Every structure is written in C-alpha cells, then in structure tokens.
C-alpha cells in the first residue's frame, strides 16, 4: 500500500528483460513519481488531478446552493459572511495513462565510436525506466513505436506484468524507415481515447514544423506531452578530423567534407536545431529533456522528474 491508500505495484521482475533493467536508475527513481502538468481524467481514483469536479479531500472551489444539494458540504463560514448558501467543491483525484512513443526510425540506430549505446538503445532504457516508474505508481503505461507511421501499439495497463510486455515490445522494435513524426503523432492523437501523458523518445531528425504540428495535435487534445530528445554525442560535438564521406541515413544524401573546415559551421547548425526545438517546446509548454547517449540516465531523469513535479505544483490554481 502507498501512503495515500493506493496499493503499490512493483512490476513483476520475472517478465522483464535484464538488458532494460537498470537497477541503479531504479534506485535513483525510487521515491519519485511521474506527475502530470495538466488536468487529466483517469478511470480510477488516483493521485492525479482530474478535470472532473467531485468530492474528494482537496477543496477546489465554491458554488451556490441549489435545492437538493447535500447540506453536508455547505460552507457555513461563507454563509456567516455572506448570508448565502454555498457548497464546497473538491478535486476528484484520478490515475492517468502514460504513452511511451518510441521513434524507431533509421536515424535512431546511429551510434558513434565513443558512444556507449545507440540512440535507440538509450531511448529503450529510458522508456523502460519510465514504464517501471509509472507502473509502480499504479498508473497505466502503454507503448507505441513511431517510424513514419504508428507501428507497434501496446495499450496502457496498470498490471505489473505489463512491464514485461513493454520490454518485449521495446526489444522487438528495430530502427528502420524514415522518421515521419508529424503524421505519426497526429495519428496517435486521434487514436487516444482520453488525455494521457505522452512521452516521446526521438532525435527529432525530421521536419520540425510537421513534427510539432503533430505534437500540437496531441497537446490540443489535452495530452501532456513530454519530449525526451535523444542524440548521440558525435551529432552534437562533431569530433571528426579526417576528410570523410558521411553516409546519410533515411535516404539522406552523402556528404563529402573536410571536417575541420566545416566543424564550426556544423555545430552551429546543430545548435540552432536544438535551440529551435527548445523554443518550440517552451512555447507549447511542453517539457523537453536532451538525452545524450554518453550521459547516464540516472544523472538526468531523477532531476527531470523532480523539476517537473515542482513545476506541476506551482501551476495548480
């Protein structure tokens, strides 16, 4: 049982894949929660804010008494001040659904010489960790892969055994095909039955306009979108020295360059790209976290969750 009376649900370890279980990360995430920044509606009374007004421990607002209301919720202090009858209204806590949207386009398979993992592997680990966290807090988590279109789709579930299914789905995903995030997110937005947290794992190597159109579709439908952008250190640092033919992925043209002559210009372009993503996320009030594959997740995720929680509580009226 958790402190608020909800049963705790550690995901069943026997069904999980050891390659996706990071015990260090889990120990760092222990005690943390993934919270929503928006008001969502769940099916079970849980800890998350719901858009619905109901009767719960947390006062939300007053309304005038109409005949037939329960007199137990009349705010007599307000009556004493105003000689009018008002009822207290309370927030109705619900659980939420969390969708993990994993970009499985070809570019996610990239791994440079100095990187410990490919972007896809790094994203899998982050997704697995967050899936574990969500299930542990008795929320539902599902998985969808995105590569030009929606791929594998695993609906959310609160069952601890669902973690194993998520691991299997993560490992079964392969990086191939174009990115096509925009249309995929738009498609996802139309499919989701009710607002959820949608955590996107992608390098965003796609048309940003279209991508954010898709993300906006999700946001407009009330989903709480989190963008975890996964990049390889070589993509940001461009450490190449020798004249090289850079072979493009996802059908991009090869580039023959003298790296030393072009390094600064490339880094500038990449920096602008990151800045653009960051700016768009901010404008959409969308959480954005840059995940470099050479930076351990336990250095980033706990802090991100804590900051998100803080922001969420600051944003509540």
Q: Which parts of this chain interact with other proteins (CB under 8 A)?
A: 106-110, 119, 203, 205, 227, 231-232, 234-240, 242-249, 252-258, 260-271, 273-274, 277-278, 281-282, 284-290, 292, 295, 300, 304, 307, 311
Closest to other proteins by CB, 117 vs 263, is 263
- Is residue 305 within a helix (H) or strand (E), and if so which, with residue range? helix 297-315
Closest to other proteins by CB, 108 vs 197, is 108
Closest to other proteins by CB, 49 vs 136, is 49
CB of 250 to other proteins, least distance (A): 8
CA nearest neighbour of 232 among 263, 270, 262, 264: 270
213: helix, strand or coil: helix
CB of 115 to other proteins, least distance (A): 11
CB of 218 to other proteins, least distance (A): 14
- Rounded to whole angstroms, the Cα distance separating 199 from 148 reads 17
CB of 304 to other proteins, least distance (A): 8
Which tokens hold the place of 248? 């493009």
Closest to other proteins by CB, 30 vs 254, is 254
Is beta strand 150-157 parallel, antiparallel or unpaired with respect to 140-146?
Answer: antiparallel
Closest to other proteins by CB, 155 vs 312, is 312
Torsional class of 50: left (φ above 0), alpha (ψ -120 to 50), beta (otherwise): beta
Which tokens hold the place of 41? 């509606």
Residues contacting residue 228 through CB under 8 Å, at least 6 positions apart:
123, 126, 199, 200, 201, 202, 288, 289, 291
CB of 286 to other proteins, least distance (A): 5
């Amino acid at each position: 049982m958790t402190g608020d009376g909800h049963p705790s649900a550690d995901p069943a370890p026997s069904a999980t894949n050891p390659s996706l279980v990071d015990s260090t990360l889990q120990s760092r995430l222990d005690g943390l929660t993934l919270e929503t920044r928006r008001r969502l509606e769940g099916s079970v009374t849980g800890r998350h804010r719901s858009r619905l007004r109901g009767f719960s421990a947390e006062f939300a607002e007053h309304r005038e008494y109409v005949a037939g209301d329960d007199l137990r919720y009349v705010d007599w202090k307000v009556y004493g001040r105003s000689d009018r009858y008002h009822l207290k209204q309370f927030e109705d806590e619900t659980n939420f659904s969390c969708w993990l949207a994993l970009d499985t386009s070809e570019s996610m398979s990239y791994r440079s010489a100095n990187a410990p993992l490919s972007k896809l592997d790094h994203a899998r680990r982050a997704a697995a960790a967050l899936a574990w966290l969500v299930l542990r807090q008795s929320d539902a988590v599902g998985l969808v892969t995105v590569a030009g279109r929606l791929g594998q789709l695993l609906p959310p579930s609160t069952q601890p055994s669902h973690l194993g299914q998520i691991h299997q789905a993560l490992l079964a995903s392969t990086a191939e095909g174009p990115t096509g995030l925009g249309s995929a997110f738009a498609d996802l937005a139309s499919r989701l039955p009710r607002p959820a947290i949608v955590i996107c794992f992608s390098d965003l190597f796609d048309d940003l306009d279209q991508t954010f159109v898709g993300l906006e579709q999700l946001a407009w439908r009330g989903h709480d979108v989190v963008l975890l952008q996964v990049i390889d250190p070589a993509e940001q640092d461009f450490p190449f020295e020798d004249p090289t033919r850079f072979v493009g992925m996802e059908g991009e043209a090869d580039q023959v360059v003298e790296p030393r002559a072009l390094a600064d210009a490339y880094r500038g372009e990449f920096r602008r790209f990151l800045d653009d993503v960051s700016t768009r996320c901010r404008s959409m009030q969308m959480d954005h976290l840059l995940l470099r594959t050479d930076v351990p997740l336990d250095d980033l995720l706990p802090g991100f969750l804590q900051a998100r929680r803080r922001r969420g509580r600051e944003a509540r009226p």
